Chains A and B, each alone.
Chain A
Amino acid sequence: MTTKFFGEPVRRREDARLIIGQGRYLDDIGSGAYAAAFVRSPYAHARVLDIDVSAAMDVEGLLAIYTYEDLTGPLAEPLPVLIPHPQLTAPRTGYPLVKDVAQHVGEPIVMVVATDRYIAEDAAGLIEVSYEELPVVVGVDAAEAAEHTVHDDVPDNIAARHHQETGDVEAALAASAHTLSFTQYFERSASMPMEGKGVHARWDDADSSLRVYSSTQASTSVRAAIAAKLELSMEKVEVIAPDVGGGFGVKIVHPWPEELLVPMAARRLGHEVKWTEDRREHFISSAHERQQRQEITVGYDDDGRITALDVLVWHDNGAYTPYGIIVPINTATQLCGPYDIPVYRARVNSVYTNTVIVTPYRGAGRPQGTFAMERTMDRIAQALGIDRALVRERNLIQPDQFPYDWGLTFQDGRPLIYDSGDYPAMMAKLKVLVDWDGFAERRAAAEARGKLLGIGMAPYVEGTGPGPYEGAHVQVLGSGKVLVSTGLTSQGQGHETVFAQLAAAELGVPMEDVVVTTGDTRRFGYAVGTFASRAAVVSGNAVALAARGVKEKALRIAAEVLEADPADLEIDEGLVQVKGTPGASIPLRTVAVLSNPLRYAFDEAARQATQFSGPGDDSKPPVAVGDAPGLEHTDYYSPLRSTFASGAHAVVVEIDPATWEIQIEQYAVVHDCGTIINPMIVEGQVHGGVAQGVGGALYERMAYDRDGQLTNASFMDFLMPYASEVPDVDIDHQSTPSPLNELGIKGAGEAGVIPGSAAIASAIEDAVGRRIAAMPISPTELYDLVRSDAERVTNSSPHDSGAMA
């Protein structure tokens, strides 16, 4: 498919609105709403003994106080395990309000509703909760030791043992010429959208219906959850995701307690109720990700070709497992990246700790997997004295090996089969982009300035666009306006732009005629959600199919009017015309009018479609059997399985040995997401991902102390990089279209974040000559490292290891 829209760097239509403050975010809605605030557990693990609300009752403006005792029916049951899995043998979830034992600092215990948020917080501050403190488990090591338990009935703290293998790894390791074993750590970070969560609910008593706005990545599923938990029929609940100020994964989790409690309160109080999460609440009561301990054993031959890889991961899932084991599965199945590894075993033990829950954050287990794989590659190169790029190249899956079937099961329950790619070409592009082979000169020049320069690289493969499905509705109005709606939500990715590009391209209309609505259950009821780099792949194809359906109908109707064969018609700039016959045409908007035979004319356009407007065929009904009025079509795309995007990053860091500050001198990205709808948006996604990758590698961590207190729960001490810390990014694209969908699209949303920590660790290690076995790393930690007895590391340059053995 080639038109002037598809593949063009069309400027984002949503930006003007969002940038000048005309976005409509959750907190912009319901200025007259009552406000909710929560009393949250100040302890990481404590039994609630008593809740004394008496002092709060006198606060003027207080409307309601709810505790677990006030919850009824399904609301009083544990929150759902959203994604069950046979290997998740001990799933646990909390209650909307703590029933008995709080399992992490921040878990909600009491909900307060008042006339405004100030008063709600005043009242919350007067509620006295007495606790019995219980022993606290923080970190994977403590969880594994199981000296104390998070949940009484899970004595080993293990929620799931995820296990996949492609062969007899122990035999393959025993037969390997060389083996290496090592352990490394990866720290917690979080999605940290600029807008936290938020819920606004309005109950219509006369209609017994509920309208909920939520800052969510999955409005259709929030709707289903609210209906189930509040015992309402689905048609009485509508859920709308307004403008959402970032998600990055944390808002795919649902229902959050507040998504149930705010509607509950609105219904009980007969008044709008709103809760807007503040930053501290977001730190201590939403979700984090990424902490793992990785025990890796690799077997390889004299040339550095891997013969076997065995990985045991201890994965911190926090206090509960509402989102199942998606993150562990991603680590296990995406770890091998672009490499052809003959025998592979992954075991992930997902463990409970008394900390905020762990659910997918952009990358979702892949940054950790890539860290495991790429640090392994560096160690093999160092052990053999071979250039790090060369070791990687020797292990790459070759273009003729696609489809490459791993014999593993991916996170969507479907076989893990790489559909397409060209990893050798990608690596070749990367080496040129970063001048890998010319690095020795740059290093020498930096040394002359008293600086340590290092280079690192890390490729990855990312499964994107999982099913089960997405749908789209496309409708042409009599005004010529084209409405596109998806149940899938947006959090700033640019869906308003790319879905309009797709619809405009398919239909042959100007982009400015297309209006896109996402995540509004009033407009489209079926959807899965925005996660796993799937919107462009799954919804994108659905939009194209729906637009195509509209086009077919338009051509059929126009063909009757123009007395032509539909096959001879085309639509260009909103005009249906006979190919090669100027003048024989009808505007698409007129076709839309004609598509809906009317009895009543209410304007000039409608007059054309009334019963007496022209000669009809009296032998046929006005609407043919099997047809429907209106120029609209709904269609769905359900992918056979995920499609696999890929990329490779290279980083040059400069380190000042007088301060151990780490400066990124160059950040190079080669990126392959198949066919690109809008290169500007793809590059924006890469930039944002790189920013989060840099944050995770050099700045961010969740600093839990031994008592389970998050000691840096503010933007003063949780160091998200500013623009001043994010490097410029050199990008080169490669396109290996996916054979799995007609548009050839692979996902692009998460890619930029995945290899950041792996590549940056490699570069720092290269600069300072000391083993990096944990990320992130800060200047003070680097100073400690170079003064420690950490293993000394020497990398070979391309020029002294280029010859094949």
Chain B
Amino acid sequence: MKPAPFGYADPTSVDEALDVLTSEGEGAKVLAGGQSLLPLLSMRLAAPSTLVDINRVPGLDQISAGPDGVRVGALVRHAQLLASSEAAGVQPLLGRATANVAHPAIRNRGTTVGSIAHADPSGEMTAVLALTDGSVTVATPEGRETIGWGDFFLGPLETSVHGPAVVLDAFFPALPERSGTAFAEIARRKGDYAVCGAGVVVTLDADRRVSSARAAYLSVGLVPEVHDLTDAVVGQPVDTADWTAAGELARGLVDPDGDLHASADYRRLLVATLTARTLADAGAEAARRTA
């Protein structure tokens, strides 16, 4: 369990990083927190020719929260985002989801943007980016480009970014007014990859009736999935909304695979249960915010 030989570069600017990535070609990999990449190296499942360590690039460790949303820099650690009350104030899903990311030691080192760039469909932040209709900013030698989540995630561990590129930040739009969120997951052991997870946003109209209910799921598909469940509950008063019906609707919309830890059927059951539970919580929060 020792990595194959690799080169190492520690650029101090984005441009320098892009230069190295350009000169090294396809074999170069960006290293941020390393929580996914380094185990792959140690097990020799990945053997990049060069690691381009961006940890010394200044300015990438910032969280900026504004009325439109929260921008999370490429070197922001999960723990930093989890602790950010400003971020949570603008988009509560950030803190709620991040609390489910692995264990403290991993959260201290791993980065939010790194886990998005890794594009693991069992990642919490990939689901949150999708649910909030977020985007990433990518730097390439040609310039900077914003890519919406739907165009970014192509498959498990696969994004639309090819060639020399550094994902600079992720942008999570703010929670709309009269809305509430919730996030929950079920893992075999606390902190493990979720067997199934769900993040939801419920939005009410001025009469405290459900106008929108959307959910994103972890570990149920090849890429993050967002499902609109509004039809099951639209127009229902929030206090008596039939969240179970929304859960059943979701159960029919997902098409998960089975693996060692959960059959496809079991994942569908969890989708139904987690959907109903999180929608109820999100609905209650939305009601509080629709005073």
Partners in one complex: yes
Residues of A within 8 A of B (CB): 117-118, 121-122, 125, 278-280, 658-661, 699, 703, 711-712, 714, 716-717, 719, 721-722, 724-725, 778-780, 783-784
Inter-chain CA distance A660–B262, complex, in Å, is: 11
Q: Can you pick out 9 interface pairs between chain A and chain B where the beta carbons lie within 8 Å of each other?
A: A125-B4, A279-B1, A712-B260, A719-B192, A721-B189, A779-B195, A780-B262, A783-B263, A784-B266
Q: How far is the CA of A473 from the CA of B180 in the complex (A)?
A: 71
Q: A118-B5, A121-B2 are in contact. Are A280 and B43 (CB under 8 A)?
A: yes
In the complex, which residues 1-38 of chain B have their Cβ closer than 8 Å to any Cβ of chain A?
Answer: 1-5
Contacts A780-B262, A780-B263, A783-B266; A724 near B190 (Cβ below 8 A): yes
Chain B residues with Cβ under 8 A from A711's Cβ?
260
Cα of A724 to Cα of B191 in the assembled complex, Å: 9
CB of B191 within 8 A of CB of A722, answer yes
Determine how close the nearest CB of chain B comes to the CB of A189; give it in whole angstroms: 15
- Contact (Cβ within 8 A) B190 A725: yes
Minimum Cβ distance to chain A for residue B35 (Å): 12
Instruction: Report which of B186, B193, B260, B263 forms a contact with A784, defined as CB distance below 8 A.
Output: B263
The answer on a CB contact under 8 Å between B1 and A280 is yes
- Interface residue tally on B, bucketed by range: 20 to 34
- CA gap between A660 and B272 in the complex, in Å: 13
Q: Which residues of B contact A121 (CB under 8 A)?
A: 2, 4, 44
Cβ 8 A contact of A659, one of B189, B190, B191, B270? B270
CA distance in complex: A717, B193 (Å):
10
Q: Does B56 contact A (CB under 8 A)?
A: no
CA distance A435 to B182 in the complex (A): 38
A721 to B189 alpha-carbon distance, docked (Å): 7
- Chain B residue at minimum C-beta to C-beta distance from A783: B266
Q: Which of A280, A659, A699, A716 contacts B186 (CB 8 A)?
A: A659
Report B-chain residues with C-beta under 8 Å of the C-beta of A725: 189-190
Most-contacted residue by chain A among B2, B195, B270 (CB, 10 A): B2
Q: With both chains docked as a complex, state the minimum distance between the C-beta of B26 and any C-beta of chain A, in angstroms.
A: 21
CB proximity of B209 to chain A, nearest CB, Å: 26
Chain B, range 233-291, C-beta contacts under 8 Å to A = 260-263, 265-266, 269-270, 273
**B270 to A, closest residue via Cβ:** A659
Docked Cα-Cα span, A35 to B2, in Å, equals 12
Contact residues in A for B5 (Cβ distance below 8 Å): 118, 122
Task: From known contacts A722-B191, A725-B190, infer whether A779 and B43 are also in contact, taking CB-CB under 8 Å.
Answer: no
B191 CB to nearest A CB, Å: 7
B174-198 interface mask toward A, CB cutoff 8 Å, 1 = contact, 0 = none? 0000000000001011111101000
Provide the bound-state CA to CA distance between A583 and B127, in Å.
Answer: 80
Which of these, A118, A122, A699, A783, contacts B189 with CB under 8 Å? A699
A122 to B260, CA, bound (A): 31
The answer for the CA separation of A712 and B192 in the assembled complex, in Å, is: 14
Write the nearest CB–CB distance from A62 to chain B, whole angstroms: 14
Q: Add 19 more A-B contacts to A118-B3, A279-B1 (CB < 8 A).
A: A117-B2, A118-B2, A122-B5, A125-B4, A125-B44, A658-B273, A659-B186, A659-B270, A716-B193, A719-B188, A719-B189, A722-B191, A724-B189, A724-B191, A725-B190, A778-B261, A779-B266, A783-B266, A783-B269
The answer for the CA separation of A779 and B4 in the assembled complex, in Å, is 39
Task: Give complex CA distance A466, B270 in Å.
Answer: 49
Inter-chain CA distance A712–B261, complex, in Å, is: 10
Closest 9 CB pairs of A and B: A724-B190, A780-B266, A278-B1, A658-B273, A118-B2, A780-B262, A783-B266, A121-B2, A780-B263
A778 to B187, CA, bound (A): 11
Would B260 and A717 count as touching, CB distance under 8 A? yes
Chain B residues with CB under 8 Å of A724's CB are 189-191
Chain B interface (Cβ < 8 Å from any Cβ of A) = 1-5, 43-44, 186, 188-193, 195, 260-263, 265-266, 269-270, 273
Complex: A125 Cα to B3 Cα, angstroms: 11
Using Cβ atoms and an 8 Å threshold, which residues of chain A touch B260?
703, 711-712, 717
Say yes or no: B190 contacts A722, CB within 8 Å.
yes
B270: which A residues are within 8 A, CB to CB?
A: 659
Is there an interface contact between B273 and A722, defined as CB atoms closer than 8 Å? no
Contacts of B4 in A (CB 8 A): 121-122, 125
Task: Give CA–CA (A661, B261) in the complex, Å.
Answer: 12
Q: Which residues of B contact A784 (CB under 8 A)?
A: 263, 265-266
Contact between chains at B265 and A783 (CB < 8 Å) = yes
Shortest Cβ distance from residue B90 to the other chain A in the assembled complex, whole angstroms: 31
Closest chain B residue to A118, Cβ basis: B2
Closest to A656 in B: B273
Q: Which residues of B contact A118 (CB under 8 A)?
A: 2-3, 5
Closest to B269 in A: A783
When distances are taken between beta carbons in the complex, the residues of chain B under 8 Å from A661 are 186
CB distance from A581 to the nearest CB of B (A): 62
Instruction: List chain A residues, Cβ under 8 A from B43.
Output: 280, 714
Chain A residues with CB under 8 A of B191: 722, 724
- Tell me the minimal C-beta distance from A324 to chain B in angstroms: 32
CB < 8 Å neighbour of A699 from B2, B188, B262, B269: B188
Do B188 and A659 touch across chains, with their CB atoms under 8 A apart? Answer: no
A711 to B265, CA, bound (A): 21
A659-B263 contact in complex given A122-B5, A722-B189, A724-B190, C-beta closer than 8 Å: no
Q: B1–A778 contact, CB under 8 A?
A: no
Q: How far is the CB of B121 from chain A (nearest CB, A)?
A: 15
A661 to B190, alpha carbons, bound, how many Å? 12
List the B side residues contacting A783 at CB < 8 Å: 263, 265-266, 269
Q: Evaluate contact between B3 and A778: CB separation under 8 angstroms.
A: no
A719–B259 CA distance with the chains assembled, in angstroms: 14
C-alpha gap A780/B4 in the complex (Å): 38
Q: In the complex, A724→B261 CA distance in Å?
A: 18
**Which residues does chain A contribute within 8 Å of B186, judged by CB atoms?**
659, 661, 779
- Report the Cα distance A703→B3, complex, angstroms: 26
Please judge, given known A-B contacts A125-B44, A659-B269, whether A778 and B190 are in contact too, CB under 8 Å. Answer: no
| Nearest neighbor of B3 in chain A, beta-carbon distance | A118
| A659–B276 CA distance with the chains assembled, in angstroms | 12
Distance in Å: Cβ of A436 to nearest Cβ of chain B: 29
For the complex, give the distance between the alpha carbons of A719 and B261 in Å: 10
- B190: chain A residues at CB < 8 Å are 722, 724-725
Between A125, A711, A778, the greatest number of chain B beta carbons within 10 A of the residue's beta carbon is seen for A778
Residue ID in chain A nearest B273 by CB atoms: A658
A659 touches B261 (CB 8 A): no
Closest partner residue, chain B, to A276 (CB atom): B1
- For B2, the chain A residues whose CB sits under 8 A away are 117-118, 121
A781 to B174, CA, bound (A): 40
CB of B272 to closest CB in A, whole Å: 8
Residue of B nearest to A117 (CB): B2
Q: Which chain B residues border A717 with CB–CB below 8 Å?
A: 260-261
Enumerate chain B residues within 8 angstroms of A699, measured Cβ to Cβ: 188-189
**Whole-angstrom distance between the alpha carbons of A721 and B191 in the complex?**
11
Give the chain B neighbours of A712 by CB distance below 8 A.
Answer: 260
